[in-house]
Amino acid sequence: MTTKTEEIATTGDDEQAPAAATAPAREPRPNKHRAATGTGPQVRVTFTDFDEFMQELIGDATVIEEGIVRAVARSWPETTQYVERELQLIAGYVVRGQVVELVASTARFWSAGESPDEGAANELAEWEETLRTTVEAGGLQLRAGRFGAL
């Protein structure tokens, strides 16, 4: 037979008051996906602002899986049926099973048969150089490509 004991705390005036009760520890909610596949939830965080992505990248540099950052520059949309195009930088890495990516556009458009506007091309080149130097400074590898669907 077990007996329940109440802890007593003193108030300093020789009075005794019951000690504050502590909440029982909460059990974590089961992750159905993790239980079924043995992996964590499949999540993608997407940035559209280059500077915000770079801040995240710098903060995550020590925990990026396999030290790999992938990046690709492209004109989008990639089909010829559209008259307008924009230059984009797509970059990403994996942290704790979660893809963190950048999809940033220079927001300068041109017709399908023309070359991109010089300002757009220069901005994209600056982003690529900043990404490369930041990745190298963090002891990471910059590789081509992007992470696919989860």
Rounded to two decimals, the pTM is 0.66
Q: What is the set of domains in the chain, with CATH numbers? A: 40-144 (3.30.720)
The predicted structure's pLDDT at residue 40:
53
What value does the mean pLDDT take over residues 3-12? 43
* Length of the chain in terms of residues written: 150
Q: How confident is the model at residue 32 (pLDDT cuts 50, 70, 90)?
A: very low
pLDDT digits (tens, 9 = 90+) for 78-120: 666 666 678 899 999 999 989 999 999 986 666 655 666 778 8
First vs last C-alpha separation in the chain: 54
Identify the pLDDT of residue 4.
Answer: 44
Of 28 and 57, more confident: 57
Count of CB atoms situated within 10 Å of the CB of 109: 16
Please provide the average confidence, as pLDDT, over all residues in the chain.
Answer: 76
| pLDDT, greater one: 17 or 48 | 48
Residue 14's pLDDT band (cuts 50, 70, 90): low
| Residue 15 reports pLDDT greater than 90 | no
